[in-house]
């Protein structure tokens, strides 16, 4: 079953399809994790955080996007790990609390996906097999005093929570990460290849229009595009 079909099923609530997508993309997650090794965290911990980014990518991916799912997912995985490393640097905490934070973040995402609401402290504690005190300590050290589950009134009168507010504030960081990754991809191409990708995926030109612009026929452009994407997949998404 191809990726797009699995994403469609996942969007319809198929948990098996969602889990299969996660498993099939473990190599991609690890390729991102390797960029952040040797920063004081175990690779497995960062992988768990990266999985959260991958799950967000699965849930948010728009099937109308003119981009491969893996290309879309990388900035979300990267952003999730970067936020974790940044937040961890706010306050010095013990190894045990760090491990609990990873568990809590993962359990919260799973609970929200299953129940369509934020979990209570008691529900997190049960899911993570931790005491309520350990959960509170981990949350407070990660977000300082303010609980990530406390709801506040936003300007439009709707209830929101601190996690949502923090994620909104960090959208600009995700955009920067996305831009950096796109630039890295484009820099790896020669002039003709770069022109094809920019025209096709950033200016929404058809293969026929591109063929006219670069002086090729549509069949040649189609073959070139497939070859470029295959090479990019091998280079960036092993």
Among 105-109, 174-178, 205-209, which is the least confidently predicted range?
174-178
Q: What is the pLDDT of residues 91-146, one digit of tens each?
A: 445 667 778 888 888 888 888 888 888 888 889 989 999 888 788 777 766 554 33
Nearest in space to 5 (alpha carbons), one of 51, 48, 61, 45 = 61
Q: How far apart are CA 168 and CA 118, in angstroms?
A: 17
pLDDT of residue 60: 87
* DSSP code of residue 135: H
Please, are residues 9 and 54 in contact by the beta-carbon 8 Å criterion?
Answer: no
pLDDT of amino acid 101: 80
- Burial zone of 38 (CB within 10 Å; 0-12 exposed, 13-18 middle, 19+ buried): exposed
The separation between the first and the last C-alpha atoms of the chain, rounded to the nearest angstrom, is 19
Query: How much is the pLDDT for 205?
Result: 83
In angstroms, how far is CA 228 from the centroid of its own chain? 24
**pLDDT-derived band of residue 147, with 50, 70 and 90 as boundaries?**
very low
What band does 181 get if pLDDT is binned at 50, 70 and 90? low
Q: CB–CB of 4/52 below 8 Å? A: no
Which whole number is the average pLDDT over 201-216? 86
User: Alpha helix (H) ranges present in the chain?
Assistant: 3-11, 15-24, 26-33, 43-60, 69-88, 95-115, 121-128, 132-143, 162-169, 171-187, 191-197, 207-214, 218-236
What phi and psi values does residue 144 have, to the nearest 5 degrees? 60, -130
Task: Give the least confident one: 24-38, 80-94, 108-122.
Answer: 80-94
pLDDT at 51: 92
> Mean pLDDT over all residues of the chain?
76
More confident residue, 24 or 146: 24
* pLDDT band for position 89 (cuts 50, 70, 90): low
Give pTM, 2 decimals: 0.45
List C-alpha distances in Å: 10 to 4, 72, 106, 183, 237.
10, 16, 18, 30, 22
* CATH number of the domain located at residue range(s) 188-236 in this protein: 1.10.10
Going from N- to C-terminal start, the domains of the chain cover: 188-236
Tokens of 111: 């609970």
Higher pLDDT, 174 or 41: 41
Provide the 3-class DSSP secondary structure of residue 43: helix
């Amino acid at each position: 079953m191809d990726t797009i079909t699995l994403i469609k099923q996942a969007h319809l609530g198929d948990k098996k399809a969602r889990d299969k997508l996660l498993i099939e993309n473990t190599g991609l997650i690890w390729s991102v994790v390797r960029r952040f090794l040797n920063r004081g965290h175990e690779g497995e911990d960062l992988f768990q955080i990266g999985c959260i980014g991958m799950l967000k990518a699965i849930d948010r991916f728009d099937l109308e996007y003119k981009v491969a799912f893996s290309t879309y997912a990388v900035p979300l995985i990267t952003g999730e790990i970067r936020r974790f490393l940044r937040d961890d640097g706010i306050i010095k905490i013990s190894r045990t609390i760090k491990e609990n934070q990873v568990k809590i973040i993962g359990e919260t995402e799973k609970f929200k996906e299953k129940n369509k609401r934020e979990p209570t402290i008691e529900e997190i504690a049960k899911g993570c097999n931790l005491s309520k005190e350990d959960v509170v300590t981990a949350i407070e050290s990660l977000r300082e005093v303010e609980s990530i589950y406390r709801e506040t009134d936003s300007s439009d009168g709707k209830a929101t929570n601190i996690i949502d507010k923090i994620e909104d504030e960090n959208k600009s960081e995700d955009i920067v990460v996305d831009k950096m990754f796109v630039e890295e991809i484009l820099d790896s191409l020669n002039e003709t290849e770069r022109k094809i990708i920019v025209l096709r995926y950033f200016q929404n030109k058809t293969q026929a229009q591109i063929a006219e612009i670069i002086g090729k026929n549509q069949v040649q452009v189609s073959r070139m595009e497939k070859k470029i994407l295959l090479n990019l997949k091998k280079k960036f998404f092993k």
